[in-house]
Amino acid sequence: MCTRIFYETGTSTYITGRSMDWRDVTMQSDLWVFPRGLSRDGGVGEGSATWTSKYGSVIVAIYNLATSDGMNEAGLAGNMLYLVESSYGDP
């Protein structure tokens, strides 16, 4: 289970923090660095989205399967939160 806290400072800035309470101490993780200007695609075959990155980025890939954390050179960050027991109800 992971936990996130998001704090608005009141001065148009924000502070975020996240724990990664993962019990797999042998989890394989890799650090990937992607340069700006890299041509990418969604990887799902014909009709997949395509784009060229405007910013360079760095990500942490887990199990050679998914991105758990990442940040681009402009400061945009993304993190994965996962709990198998979560239920979000009907769409």
Is pLDDT of 42 > 70? Answer: yes
Is pLDDT of 1 > 70? Answer: no
Neighbour tally for 73: CB within 10 Å: 13
* Residue 1 located in a structural domain: no
* Residue 6 located in a structural domain: no
Is pLDDT of 81 > 80? Answer: no
Across 6-12, average pLDDT: 91
pLDDT above 70 coverage of the chain, percent: 99
CB 35 within 8 Å of CB 48: no
Among 2, 61, 71, 80, the active-site one is 2
* Residue 65 located in a structural domain: yes
Q: Could you tell me the pTM of the whole model?
A: 0.68
* Residue 90 located in a structural domain: no
* Residue 74 located in a structural domain: yes
Q: Whole domain around residue 71: which residue ranges?
A: 24-83
* Residue 7 located in a structural domain: no
Is 79 annotated as catalytic? Answer: no
Count of structural domains, the chain: 1
* Residue 64 located in a structural domain: yes
